[in-house]
Chain A
């Protein structure tokens, strides 16, 4: 059974704004899926549709076979959600908050306390567990939200910008925790972010969104093959043949190649022409490169449409 299935999912808000536009997607269990796009791309609306907080205008959605619009409570029992709008109580301490949410999810007080303390330790909040939430920094609140979402050992995690406000060390810690949860515990992760570099570190598959539309989805290799094939070769060299490469610095150059097979040929050509190579590296297109190519294509298509209209 798929963890998540969306079929032609659309959401139009009162007022006419189309936040999600005919998105079809499925996630297997244990996958870390990066749902990527800028602010306003429709990521948060999709998370709300997946949790039954919003009802779709068109299309349908299911989480572990359950329709969230019909049985939101059943979906909530299986899922943990971290979003910017889902905060906790300032008048309670870190551990009191976790015990409360544990109890609301049906855990006994004792189990909630044990699990809460363990999660706080894992997220480096052990020392702050008896501090009131009002005294927590943004990063600490964010990590506590992750702990809260994990209290009832969910089968799927919906994380909306989970590392925003975190310092690099904490972000890395959260990343490795997410990866561990997927690998060791088989938890499916639906991760929404606009930080593409961060997503590339954690996710196994990606969906790229813009203006409510899913522009492309697949693994990084699949996306590279489909959207941004080839690679960029970077060289530190002297006396290169004229016009072979684009110069980026005093002795640095770069040129696009289709595959690694072409590199020996390039090296031979340079050395035969009397050039000296000090360093050479090949860079595959990053998620950012793929995303920018996609959005540029999307924008030019949209502009074309507008012009033709």
Chain B
């Protein structure tokens, strides 16, 4: 059974990666987000006149402003440890949303869904394979973005400030627990919407209008948590992971072949 599900996952991922232009776009957006944006910050920190009133106002708004003397190092650390993790909660969802939205309705439009349904797998198993395929792709894009971001960011900070700034422990929590859990929730919802949709456009619009606001809200809450405590982050991550698994298990229990082929 595992091999059968793996076959569907591989086929779905191949469907995205074989379309080189689409795959490059898929990788380009997150990399721009995680390389260009922090680079701009570092350049501002390096070259902006720190005495200017605007810059001082901006510094005053930062969370550690009251606790310590603000230095270039602390601003870079702030960008790395408080701002960028938020991007990594959104990147996997952005990367997987197109694939997830196409998962069922895309097959329906290409008239391959019926063929897939004739295989000896239950609807739940096919659904899970589709969710996992999009999830693995999202994690892959996320991992690549993280590595590229880290290399560029460390090189830049070393060049401009002469020291390395390492990511703190919260990164581990974000990358390995919170981001995967949130993206699993989003992907499950998008794939479910794809099963109900009548066209790929329908499913994509559904993802944009219904799923993203929910996810933004969730991510927004985590922005605050990042400033508080790693333990709270861990607890919320566990809750999200639990929710994601529950959602994945419950989805498709009321679906029938007839509904899908309509």
Contacts and interface: CB of A to CB of B under 8 A. Distances in A.
Given A91-B18, A104-B8, A106-B3, A86 B120 contact: no
Nearest to A87: B111
Interface string B147-163: 00000000000000000
Contact of B114 (A53, A72, A92): A53
A86 B256 contact: no
Nearest to B258: A54
B257 A72 contact: yes
Contact of B11 (A77, A89, A148): A89
Given A89-B15, A100-B7, A100-B11, A105 B120 contact: yes
Contacts of B250: none
Interface residues of B, number: 26
Q: State which size class the interface on A falls in.
A: 20 to 34
Interface in A67-103: 72-74, 76-77, 79, 81, 83, 85-92, 100-101, 103
B110 A77 contact: no
B4 A86 contact: no
A50 to B, nearest CB: 11
A74 B15 contact: no
A73 B1 CA distance: 12
A176 to B, nearest CB: 25
B56 interface: no
A88 B113 CA distance: 9
Contact of B115 (A52, A72, A87, A92): A87
Interface string B1-33: 001101110010011001100000000000000
Nearest to A80: B118
- Which one of B4, B11, B18 has the highest number of Cβ atoms from chain A below 10 Å of its Cβ? B11
Contacts of A53: 114, 117-118, 257-258, 261
Contact of A74 (B14, B120, B258): B120
A148 B3 CA distance: 18
A81 B120 contact: no
Nearest to B117: A53
Contact of A104 (B14, B110, B121): B121
Contact of B258 (A55, A77, A103): A55
B215 to A, nearest CB: 30
Contact of B4 (A74, A83, A89, A105): A105
A60 interface: no
B119 interface: yes
A76 B4 contact: no
A103 B3 contact: yes
A55 B19 CA distance: 38
Contact of A52 (B15, B18, B112, B257): B257
B122 interface: yes
A76 B118 contact: yes
Interface of A: 51-55, 72-74, 76-77, 79, 81, 83, 85-92, 100-101, 103-106, 108, 148
12 contacts: A54-B257, A55-B256, A73-B121, A86-B112, A86-B114, A90-B110, A91-B19, A92-B11, A100-B7, A100-B11, A101-B115, A103-B6
